[in-house]
Amino acid sequence: MNHPLKIVVTGFEPFAHGTENPTLDVLAELRAANDIEGDLIAIQMPVDSGKLAALTSATLDDHKPDLWISLGVAPGLSVIAVERIAANVMDFPIADNVGTQHGGHPVFEGGPAGHLATLPVKTIADQLRASGIPAKVSNSPSTYLCNQMMYTVLHLIAEKGMATRAGFIHVPAHPSFVAKQVYPFVEMPSMSIDLMTSAVKHAIRTAATVEQDHRRPGFNY
């Protein structure tokens, strides 16, 4: 008898510089819906560069998940962005919530230059668009905490020799955040929490059923 999949989904706490983070609302919606086929472990991550590795390592050891999808917000993004690769660099445009601002340090000393997501990123993006949710494959999660989160989980999975498949999804700002903006950000793109949550559910279902990503040319940015 097959055991239920263990699925970790992470989001970030709000940023001290004023950017609200809809990923926590998505985690709350996933918990409330209770319709994920598998055991959902929803975790809030701190906007603290120094804590990500230890928290990620402990979560991997404690839960030994089959799937891991981390979420982050990218204000100005207009679609769901399924990230393909994380770079071994931290170059923070602004400080994290405890005042740390890296200027080009590696995520892990001696680690490879990059880690590819082990989720079927192109298939996920295709399935999202087919279901009416705007999406793309992104080839850069930037060099801030979202990239650090993605690189960290993929690197630790490799170091621990685990079979966990993992990746990262960026979501746009949500409407209530955009409504508070002043010129020139009044026309910032947004997406509802419901649609973001639906996108994550689709991503989980696709990752749970598709092991090998397709090699057809796709939408890449």
Based on the residue annotation, tell me whether 146 is a catalytic residue of this protein: yes
- The per-residue pLDDT for range 16-56, each reduced to its tens digit, is 877 789 999 999 999 999 899 999 999 999 999 999 999 99
Per DSSP, the three-state class of 85 is: strand
Distances (CA, A) of 218 to 127, 129, 167: 12, 12, 18
Host H or E run for residue 68: strand 67-73
The tokens describing 65, both together, are 């998940």
How would you class 28 by CB atoms within 10 Å of its CB: exposed for 0-12, middle for 13-18, buried for 19 or more?
middle
CA geometry: angle at 172 spanning 168 and 177, to 5°?
135
Is residue 53, in this structure, part of any structural domain at all?
yes
If you average pLDDT over residues 148-175, what whole number do you get?
98
Return d(Cα 211, Cα 156) in angstroms, integer: 20
Catalytic residue among 115, 146, 174, 202: 146
Domain contains 54? yes
Residues 6+ apart with CB under 8 A from 183: none
Instruction: Return the exposure string of 80-95: e unless at least 16 CB atoms fall within 10 Å of the residue's CB, then b.
Output: bbbbbbbbbbbebeee
**Beta partners for residue 40, in sequence order:** 7
Q: Provide the token pair at 165.
A: 């498949």
Record the pTM: 0.96
Look at the chain and report how many structural domains it folds into.
1
Q: Which of 102, 155, 170, 202 is catalytic?
A: 170
Q: Per the residue annotation, which of 29, 83, 174, 202 is the catalytic one? A: 83
* Three-state secondary-structure class, residue 173: coil
CA atoms within 13 A on the CB side of 188: 22
Tell me if 217 is assigned to some domain: no
The CATH number of residue 186's host domain is: 3.40.630.20
pLDDT digits over 86-144, tens only?
999 999 999 999 999 999 999 999 999 999 999 999 999 999 999 999 999 999 999 99
Contact 69, 9 (CB under 8 A): yes
Task: Please say if the pLDDT value at position 1 is more than 60.
Answer: no
Q: Is the residue at 219 inside a domain?
A: no
Is 61 among the domain residues?
A: yes
What confidence score (pLDDT) does residue 2 get? 67
Residue 96 lies in a domain: yes
Q: Is residue 215 part of a domain?
A: no
DSSP string covering 106-145: -SSTT--SEEE-SS-HHHHHHHHHHTT--EEEES---SSH
Structural domain range at position 123: 6-209
- Whether residue 35 lies inside any domain: the answer is yes
